[in-house]
Structures are given as structure tokens and as C-alpha cells.
Structure 1
């Protein structure tokens, strides 16, 4: 059973990904200092919001439908979708600060204004997103954690999918792109267990990119190295 209310008791959460890479360029440090705070979706951190009061997405995005990209990497797909869909509000979530800095530069160059950025763990954001508030979500080339003993660290596990299902509207679309065959296997096994149905009737529905797809730098690396991308589309079932 999926609970409609977030837990207000602070859980103990391990984080296994990278938080920072190479030294940031002066321009990237400036973007973080000047732009990041204004792009916040609201009070997400436990320090700022210990009661886990839900975010007011209506106020943040003026009543627009809200989409979510989980782990936006360098931000190219996020900015592409924001520019293509000005009547949509989009939240990007990414704990890797170098990726956040790259995104902020792209936002400046593109001039898009319908974006919000959470530079942290998606689980903290899930805590404060209202139930059934997300109309579309993207999980694009997530960390594959290829070793068997690390599969529990993948996003497509109960720890992430239960709160994701809570915040997605009935009928909302979840897109997952990956070039790792075992990640495809785990996704197809786990995601339907938590209130989603896979929307595929023939091979072209997972072999061909979506019509509005923008190939990311991670996908280009996968193609160069001979790996085959998979494009999986799920729909959130009614509760």
C-alpha cells in the first residue's frame, strides 16, 4: 500500500553517488552564488523545513502542470524540455554540484524561466512534494551500479519508487532511459510493482526515442561504446 502522506520523522539515508567532481570554473561558481537560490522549488532541506511542510507548487509555477527530472546530469534535456514546453513547470533534481553548475549556465544561455532546481537527494524532495502533484517524470541514464551487490543502490528500488508513486498523478507518465540491459530488467520487474504499467506493445516502443527526445551526453557516450539505449514508458495507475 502506498501512503499519501510523507513521513515527518527524519530517516537515516545513505547516499552513494558523487557530490562534487573537478574544480568549478569561476563562471560556474558565480552561477551557483547568483542564480541557484532564486531557482529553488521551495523549502526542501530538513534544516529549513523540519516539519516537511509540502511545497506550494501552484505559487511556484503559477498553476502550471509540473514535471520532474530525477538526476539531470548536465541539464541539456531539462533545458530542452523547459524551452519546448513553456506552459509546463519543471523541477530538476541533481546532487552532483558540477552538474548543477552546468545546468545554471545552460539556463542563462537559453533564457528559460519555467524551471526550478533542487541540488540534492531526490528522496528529500519527495518528502515535500504534494501527493499527486507531478504530471510527468524523467529518469534518464541513472547510475547503473553494475555490480550485483550494488543493485540495491539503483533508483528503481522500493525506497525511491514508493515516494515517486505517491507524488505522481493518476495517468502521469514516467520515462526511463538506460543503456544497461540489467537495469532494463530491474526496471521492468520493479516499477510495475509500485503502481505503474508499462506502455509497450511492440519493440519500437522501447527501441525508438520519444518524439521530443534530446540525446544527452551520457547517451552519446553509450553509443560510442557500442551500448544500445532503451526507452521505457510507464503510466501511473489510479490509486
Structure 2
């Protein structure tokens, strides 16, 4: 999979790139489907000058584009793509096993309004046009529980400043997590990056689909928390 591995000189906000051995069907999804779904011009090798990409070339028109950072197993992303066929959604996920799971779900659901970047979301945000994203999702991100690792969390300026740049004024940014300290840091740092807090609490969004990570949290007695921000103009 080395041809899809961006190598930015940055601190990782994610953990492993690979997990348990992929099933043969999942290897097939990666070899047969990922090439057509992967946006071009994202990696440093493909776009060393970091020129803005044309989102209309990905989805074939000027539809609204949503972004999911770290889509895990892909169930939320596919759910949103199926529920809102008029939008295009790009998902970023460096964990190859999660990418393979998403590709299987895309096949099963038959959705066509998706694009998959199997790497660091920062590489994508580098080349997204300014003000091009209409909605963004951060669902159950890696908690990096040790205090010395909190700077690796997504809700830090290294990630939030680029996110602010690529989102449209008034665009919605959703965060779901079961880690109280992640909620604390989210509520502290996201507003400082130019986002207005709209709501936060234990009530999920009307179109929310509970993910496998959320179900694991519930089984282990952790309480999900849902936070909504709006990008200021």
C-alpha cells in the first residue's frame, strides 16, 4: 500500500496504519475499488507544490461537499452519503483496515457520492480550496489519553486552523466522543480557531448513526457526547 502512504513531516494525530490481517475480500476492495474512489493531487508525491484541487472533478459537478475526518469503519460516512445523495462526501482515514471496511460498505450500499483519502486529513486540507467544505465530522477520534499526547489530538491549532480555512462561513462542524477530557479540550480549543459553539450534550443529531466505536463505548459504560460548532464568517 506504499503508493497511498503520504509522508508529511508532521506529528501524527493517529495511531496505527495497519491492524490485523485483511480478509481476502477486503484486499480485493483495496485493489479493485480504492483507485477509482481516491482523490488525486493530495499526497506530497502527487502534488509537491500543494496546488488547490478541483472538487468538481471528483464529484462531476458543483454539489456541496462534506468532510469526515477519521471515518473508522465507515458506517457513518456511508449512512450520510445514502441519506443525502445530493452532496459529495470525502472521508480521510489513515488506518488501512478501516479503509477496507468502508470500501465493502460502499459496495453493499451502492452509493456513488463518496471519495476516500487513505491518509492524513492535513494533506487533504492543504489542497482543498478555501471555503469549499459545507459540513465536517469528527467522530470518536483517537483520544490520546496521556497528557503528554494531548497535542496530538485533532482539536489543536495544527488541525483546526486548516479546517477553518477550508470550511465555508456558517458551515457546521460536528464532534462526537465518549472521552470527557476530549470534550473539555474541544470546548476550549475549537472556539479559539474561529468556530462558534451551537450545542453540546448527550443528545445526538437527528440524522446520527451510532458507530461501532460508540457501541463499544456504551458497552463499557462510557457516555457519548455530541458537540456542534459553526464556522464564523
Q: Do these two structures clear the TM 0.5 threshold for a shared fold by scoring above it? A: yes
Task: Give TM-score, length-normalised by structure 2.
Answer: 0.94
Cα separation, 2, equivalents of 1:147 and 1:12: 23
Q: Where does residue 236 of structure 1 map in the other structure?
A: 231
Matches within 5 A, 1:1-239: 12-15=9-12, 16-61=14-59, 62-200=61-199, 205-238=200-233
Deviation at 1:105, TM superposition (A): 0.3
Q: Is the 8 A contact 2:8 2:44 kept in 1?
A: no
Deviation at 1:12, TM superposition (A): 2.1
Q: Is the 8 A contact 2:40 2:46 kept in 1?
A: no
Q: Is the 8 A contact 1:42 1:56 kept in 2?
A: no
Cα separation, 2, equivalents of 1:11 and 1:209: 34
Cα separation, 2, equivalents of 1:111 and 1:54: 29
Cα separation, 2, equivalents of 1:24 and 1:14: 27
Moved over 6 A (4+): none
Moved more, 50-59 or 151-160: 50-59
Deviations along 1:48-91, whole A, 9 cap, x unmatched?
11111111102222111000000000000000000000000000
* Structure 1: segments with no counterpart, 5+ residues: 1-9
SS at 2:129 equivalent: coil
Cα separation, 2, equivalents of 1:41 and 1:12: 21
Cα separation, 2, equivalents of 1:210 and 1:165: 22
Moved more, 89-98 or 36-45: 36-45
Deviations along 1:139-171, whole A, 9 cap, x unmatched?
000000111111011000010001000000000
Deviation at 1:40, TM superposition (A): 1.5
User: What is the aligned-residue RMSD (CA, Å)?
Assistant: 1.1
Cα separation, 2, equivalents of 1:51 and 1:195: 27
Cα separation, 2, equivalents of 1:181 and 1:119: 28
Q: Is the 8 A contact 1:77 1:215 kept in 2?
A: yes
Count of matched residue pairs: 225
